Copies of this chain bind each other. A is one copy, B any other.
Amino acid sequence: MSKLLIVGTVAFDKIETPFGKTDKILGGAATFIGLSASQFDVESGIVSVVGDDFPQGYLDMLKGKNIDTTGVEIVKGGKTFFWSGKYHNDMNTRDTLVTELNTLADFNPIVPENFKDTEFLMLGNLHPAVQMSVIKQIPNRPKLVVLDTMNFWMDNAWDDLIEVIKKVDVITINDEEARQLSGEYSLVKAAQKISKMGPKYVVIKKGEHGALLFHEENIFFAPALPLEEVFDPTGAGDTFAGGFIGYLAQTKDISFENMKNAIIYGSNMASFSVEKFGTRRMEELTKDEIKKRLGQFKELTQFEIELN
């Protein structure tokens, strides 16, 4: 079984959508990535940091999904990273109400000994210097390194971001971020430019409009599953990334052809994540449900035209 190391936030989220609002609930990039990847046959571990206000029950739940939490540092007297946001009626835009970095502010990630030989490395959205620190702790380069980032780091840590982007195989960002990073409006041109910065594979996430995978002259597209309701989009991008790298780690095949399948799986997993608040849907998700939904993705996209 392949090892998969996931670096990212483990956090409290407080979310308001047109459908309702939550108290502080479990959130964070590494949480969503880990829960999504846990649906695949991989040996996964998380590197992150929380305060001692973080409920042991959450860590137990993650362990129950066979996620190694040895790398989740618990800072005594510290408080866990907290994010609060409110979604607008279209569910595509949101306002951030609160961001308290807390223990994340001076997070010094430590890769556990048993993950220093990880074959798959997922760098969830975090300060690019933290992402780089993790790369440097792994003596033999992993088979595949995937980086997720966001516009905040483009605005505030450009040089660090460019350095870490040089080191990765795959970058996943949304369409607006791809435009900002490349200075190109056309996503085709944006992906070409970003690819020249380092990553041979560029995944552009377009939310409800699906995701594009670019590699050299090749393009593949995975739609989002059209849903009657999107209940809470929080973590959908991380869930997508977790499904993507989880599938690749399970199949140990990092070819472009297999990455097509991986972004379909990413989209599959994300389609569940948005159905309930927070991590709730991902916690209860079964392999049978995923398989059934894969059938829906086939119905949605596969066609038979004879080229004659």
Contacts and interface: CB of A to CB of B under 8 A. Distances in A.
Nearest to A206: B209
A233 to B, nearest CB: 13
A301 B220 CA distance: 6
Contact of A302 (B227, B229, B302): B302
Contacts of A186: 227-230
Q: Which of A89, A265, A307 is most buried by chain B, counting CB atoms within 10 A of its CB? A: A307
A218 B228 CA distance: 13
Contacts of A187: 226
A5 interface: no
A212 B299 CA distance: 12
A157 interface: no
Contacts of A291: 307
A91 to B, nearest CB: 8
A254 interface: no
A185 B226 contact: no
Nearest to A260: B303
A95 interface: no
A153 interface: no
Copies in the complex: 2
Interface of A: 89-90, 185-189, 206, 209-210, 212, 218-221, 223, 226-230, 257, 260-261, 264-265, 291, 294-295, 298-305, 307
Contacts of A227: 186, 188
A89 B186 CA distance: 11
B304 A261 contact: yes
B185 A212 contact: no
B300 A221 contact: yes
Q: Which of A90, A298, A301 is most buried by chain B, counting CB atoms within 10 A of its CB? A: A301
A260 B298 CA distance: 12
Q: Which of A218, A221, A265 is most buried by chain B, counting CB atoms within 10 A of its CB? A: A221
Contact of A219 (B90, B226, B261, B302): B226
A265 B185 CA distance: 26
Contacts of A265: 305
Nearest to A265: B305
A228 B300 CA distance: 26
A90 B185 contact: yes
Contacts of A220: 299-301, 303
A89 B298 CA distance: 35
A305 B294 contact: yes
A69 to B, nearest CB: 31
Nearest to A223: B221
Contacts of A294: 305, 307
Contacts of A209: 206, 209-210
A209 to B, nearest CB: 4
A300 B219 contact: yes
Contacts of A298: 305
12 contacts: A89-B185, A186-B227, A186-B228, A189-B228, A212-B226, A220-B299, A221-B300, A221-B301, A261-B303, A264-B303, A294-B305, A294-B307
